[in-house]
Structure 1
Amino acid sequence: MNRTEREAAYVDYVTARRAHLRRVAYALCGDWHRADDLLQTALVKLYVAWPRVRRAGSEDAYVRKILVRAAIDESRRPWRREQATDDLPDRPAPEPTGVEERSALFAALQALPVQQRAAVVLRHWLGLSVTETADELGLAEGTVKSHTSRGLATLRLSLEPSEAG
């Protein structure tokens, strides 16, 4: 079968099964727009594997498997876990830090001992928990707390405005 015939067979399959597959996608995700996205993803993957899938005669099974996996993958995406709310925050988001302040902070971070710097960055920059930071650094949780506390104290001292200014 040449390329033109393969593509014609693919188009015929998609034309005949598209509505059914879209309903399957909708049943998986409960939203028609997401169903269209899932179906598009599945049809692209099907096109890539079409010669192999066509020979096996398992087109529907292959597309269903892609739809299920794509729906699971999509539900795991961080923006899918966001929830709209009517409650506004009490205060606006903080203003971005200026270049000078960021440079001073970076220089102060670099002046910290390696373990303190790592603990402060993992805990306060990346937002890891004490347990996660301890696992990441291979340290006891108490040691992470000590390094973090000492590092933050040193940063406060080095970054607070001098009174002579």
Structure 2
Amino acid sequence: MKRTKARLKINQILTGKKTNLRVVGCLLFREWDKKDKRFYYWEEWEITGLADYDSWVEYDHSDQTVSLYEPIRFTQAIDPTQMEKGQSFTVSEQDGKDHVVVVDEVGIGEIMNIKGKNTYQVFPKELMAYATLRDTGAPKNRQLITIEKYNNREYDAYRKVQIEQQRTKGNVR
């Protein structure tokens, strides 16, 4: 499969309560699950118009969840390739806030398709290591943090906020 499923298009304008957002790029990923013996797919759509340029909408093909990725800046780069599920540690934001996190998931996704323009120069078949952390002190809808490592050198961290389906007005799914 090399198709996206989200009902988004490059240059599409998404109307929000406070601002309009524009879809500028998309990366389609897949990951092999050894236990289930099958591929899992997800999409990351880059959007502009928020206070920080590095924001994304994720659509998970398996459970059809839609999440907003909001950048979060830590004092040190966090390498997802060095993490194990269940591991617990403290991370510090640049503004001084500390977060106790637990690793929920680690994996490596492969870029299957690229649409539009993306912040990073990436190519099909390139691998992206990731880890999903649970911030134990955050409100329930803001607990997940995703750490991504592209090109074996680019580190990014995002607060992953699941968007309620009725709020998307059918645009994504």
**TM-score relative to the length of structure 2:** 0.17
- Please identify which structure carries the higher helix content: 1
- TM-score in terms of structure 1 length: 0.18
Q: Which structure dedicates a bigger proportion of its chain to strand?
A: 2
